[in-house]
């Protein structure tokens, strides 16, 4: 894990402009790149010399190439839209077989800049409009608005619901991500729905574990681990109300929690660096549907996962994009009449300190034992 200053210097060297949200004391910093759809590239809890929490793809950026499918630049929170696969995919053309050779990220989520509408020291607001075609041939006209707001220590503590000891370093931010139907026709299940899909890339280590609480009282599977094949038991454990996922960047695997099992919370802990990441998102109180992002034919396009986690690793040919790991959240599918909007809000909070200082936070937020998380794998 490098420093925030190193990442900032690297992006500046390669002509990547960014805006910074900075706390009054200069310790909490969040880096936002408007040219990359307003994504949060990284953040720090200790100013320029603090650890940089986001994963940045130095190799790809340094090459300066433009990929026809995706610009995998990294970043710890990026704005995408779902679904990725299935009959209403936004990443495959109508009639195309849903294999990697035919997959491409829509340019508005990949190569087109978002416009900066307003900015202060603690908040930046961006927007973009687009016309997209899904795999069923439906045209979707939508507006996108995104606001990134730096959370002060008091606000982060209120969101966590527990006091944060003075010795714990902290940086947190909230993003409000809104999509609006600006077309003339309603978005319906018959022609395909759109969701807000937030993905965050972070730095894996042999001492990192993703842990996700789940609804113990719902029916059906707790975890969907069929994305890239079943995950071995030495990497995935479901036990005592928590899903534990080993994160080392050495085994490509992905899991998801379906709507009935997912709560509004997930986290990761790197015991080597003493970094706890808490990600919370706002779930609607009423029943709703979630789009299914898996590629190919689907039995139910509206039975998708709400929370996902990904551990990068080598492909069959030995190549690897990262390594990195991802935590993802999705909004419900947006059944919107013309002029209506849906907003997906999430908070990302990084806390860095000793096990003794972080254990009460984990217990208060997750109802979990940090020592168990630390030693699960």
Strand partners, 274: none
Q: Which residue has the tokens 């990068």?
A: 312
> Coil, helix or strand for 11?
helix
Q: Report whether 266 contacts 283 (CB < 8 A).
A: no
**CATH level 3 topology of 4-374:** Beta-galactosidase; Chain A, domain 5 (2.70.98)
Angle at the Cα of 190 (from 141 to 298), degrees rounded to 5?
105
143 - beta bridge partners?
129, 180
By C-alpha distance, which of 258, 341, 273 is closest to 52? 273
pLDDT of the residue at 286: 84
SS3 content of the chain, % helix, strand, coil (to 5): 15, 40, 50
Where in the chain does DSSP place strands (E)? 19-22, 29-33, 39-44, 78-82, 115-119, 123-133, 139-151, 169-181, 195-202, 208-213, 236-239, 242-247, 253-258, 265-270, 275-281, 305-311, 325-330, 341-352
DSSP alpha helices (H): ranges in the chain? Answer: 4-13, 58-63, 153-160, 355-366, 370-374
- What's the token pair of residue 99? 């294999």
CA angle 75, 76, 80 (to 5 degrees): 75
Residue 287: per-residue pLDDT: 81
237 exposed, middle or buried (CB, 10 Å; 0-12, 13-18, 19+)?
A: middle
Mean pLDDT by 10 residues, the chain (377 residues): 93 97 97 98 97 97 94 97 98 96 97 98 98 97 98 92 93 98 97 97 96 95 92 95 97 96 96 97 90 94 96 91 96 98 98 97 97 96
Q: Rg (Cα) of the chain, in Å, rounded?
A: 20
């Amino acid at each position: 894990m490098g420093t925030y200053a190193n990442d900032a210097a690297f992006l500046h060297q390669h002509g990547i402009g960014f805006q910074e949200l900075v706390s009054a004391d200069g310790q909490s910093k969040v880096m936002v790149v408007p040219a990359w759809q307003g994504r949060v590239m990284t953040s720090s809890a200790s100013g320029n010399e603090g650890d940089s929490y986001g994963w940045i793809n130095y190799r790809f950026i340094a090459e300066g190439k433009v990929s026809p499918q995706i610009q995998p630049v990294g970043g710890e929170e990026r704005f995408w839209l779902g679904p990725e696969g299935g009959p209403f995919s936004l990443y495959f053309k109508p009639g195309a077989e849903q294999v990697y050779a035919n997959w491409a990220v829509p340019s508005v989520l990949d190569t087109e800049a978002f416009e900066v509408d307003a900015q202060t020291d603690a908040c930046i607001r961006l927007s973009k409009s687009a016309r997209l075609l899904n795999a069923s041939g439906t045209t979707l006209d939508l507006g996108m608005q995104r606001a990134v707001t730096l959370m002060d220590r008091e606000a982060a503590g209120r969101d966590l619901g527990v006091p944060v000891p003075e010795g714990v370093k902290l940086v947190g931010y909230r993003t409000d991500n809104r999509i609006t139907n600006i077309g003339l026709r309603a978005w319906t299940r018959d022609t395909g729905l759109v969701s807000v899909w937030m993905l965050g890339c972070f730095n894996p280590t042999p001492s990192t574990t993703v842990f996700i609480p789940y609804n113990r009282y719902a029916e059906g599977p707790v975890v969907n681990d069929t994305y890239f094949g079943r995950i071995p038991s030495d990497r995935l454990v479901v036990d005592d109300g928590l899903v534990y996922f080993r994160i080392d960047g050495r085994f490509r695997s992905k899991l998801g929690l379906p709507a009935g099992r997912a709560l509004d919370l997930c986290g990761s802990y790197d015991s080597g660096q003493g970094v706890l990441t808490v990600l919370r998102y706002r779930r609607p109180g009423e029943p709703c549907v979630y789009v299914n992002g898996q590629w190919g034919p689907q039995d139910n396009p509206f039975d998708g996962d709400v929370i996902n986690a990904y551990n990068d690793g080598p492909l069959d040919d030995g190549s690897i994009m990262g390594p990195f790991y991802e935590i993802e959240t999705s909004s419900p599918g947006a059944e919107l009449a013309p002029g209506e909007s849906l907003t997906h809000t999430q908070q990302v909070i990084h806390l860095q300190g000793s096990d003794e200082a972080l254990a009460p936070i984990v217990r208060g937020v997750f109802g979990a034992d940090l020592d168990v998380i630390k030693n699960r794998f």
